[in-house]
A and B are shown apart, each in its own frame.
Chain A
Amino acid sequence: MMGPEIPLYLTVASFLFATGALGVLLRRNPLIVLLSLEIMLNGANLAFISFARRLGDGDGQIFAVAVMAVAASEVVVGLGLVVALHRRDLELDVDRLSTLRG
């Protein structure tokens, strides 16, 4: 295999996942939380494709495509929620959106 070996790709994937996790945990704007979720999913995707390259078959790439479809669905629902919040004039802050808290 030309260029870097699989562990380097996996390192990048781990750091991407951790960066996204930090964003999900720290940011309070739901839009940026959604963007950080995308980064986490992409870190997982990179790991899937790295392992697919290591094993030499296409199954990991199938997983990656399925994850992309799930990510698109998640964005649709998440952005629908954001738009619904905006229409009801609620503040876009996940710390203050505690109406459904038990």
Chain B
Amino acid sequence: MGDFLVWVVWVAAAFACLGSGIAVVTFSNPFYSALALIGNLASLAVLYLLLAAEFVAAAQVLVYAGAVMVMFLFVIAYVGQRSDTVWTGGPSWQLVGGVLAGGAILVEVIIAIGLGASGRLSDAAEIGAACGSPSEVGRLFLTNHLLAFEITSIVLLVAAVGGVVLGGQSRLFGEVDS
């Protein structure tokens, strides 16, 4: 019974995830794309929970669906909704080439995983209750992966400075131009 319930949740989350992903790519209005991406992130968080990654699921909802997407929606509202017309006017060489390249990437990924690890993927390890909990992730971050943790903080700092510079630069150049 528990197994069946997990399957039901998995099928719902996986199809919501793929469907909202396709919706993000196909909507012509960026605002609707951003809203579809929020659905994508939420269904991905459900998949993470099924994979015993509680902390990552919570961080996904808080950081992505909360902070990042709010910033996205704010900028889309600021810039204004300009729908582009990529899906009209028949197939161009760009459309054909893009679909071919995307299909090639998909086939390549599946073949690489299939050849590298096909027979050994199904027997998942037994895990304790602590795996994926905030305390376990925090312990790993501050012991085995301390360098990654510090580099992450530097990356975030540089990005924040870059955002400030980019946000102010155009105004400065505009004054110089005029």
Tell me the complex Cα distance, A68–B67, Å: 12
Total residue contacts A-B, CB cutoff 8 A? 246
Q: Digit string of A68-80 for contact with B (CB within 8 Å is 1, else 0)?
A: 1111111111011
| CB atoms of B169 and A12 under 8 A apart | no
Q: Give the dominant DSSP class at B's interface.
A: helix
Assess the A71–B140 pair: CB atoms within 8 A.
Answer: no
Size class of the contact patch on chain B? 35 or more
A residues contacting the other copy or chain, number (CB 8 A): 74
**Bound CA–CA A52/B18 (angstroms):** 22
Q: Which 10 A-B pairs have CB atoms at the shortest separation, nearest pair first? A: A56-B125, A3-B6, A80-B166, A73-B159, A25-B98, A18-B106, A23-B25, A22-B102, A84-B170, A1-B124
In chain B, positions 28-72 with a C-beta closer than 8 Å to chain A are 30, 33-34, 37, 40-41, 44, 47-48, 50-53, 55-56, 59-60, 63-64, 67-68, 71-72
Mark B residues whose CB is within 8 Å of A.
2-3, 6-7, 9-10, 14, 17-18, 21-22, 24-25, 27, 30, 33-34, 37, 40-41, 44, 47-48, 50-53, 55-56, 59-60, 63-64, 67-68, 71-72, 75-76, 78-80, 82, 84, 86, 94-95, 97-99, 101-103, 105-106, 109-110, 113, 121-122, 124-127, 131-132, 136-137, 140-141, 144-145, 148, 152, 155-156, 158-160, 162-163, 165-167, 169-171, 173-174
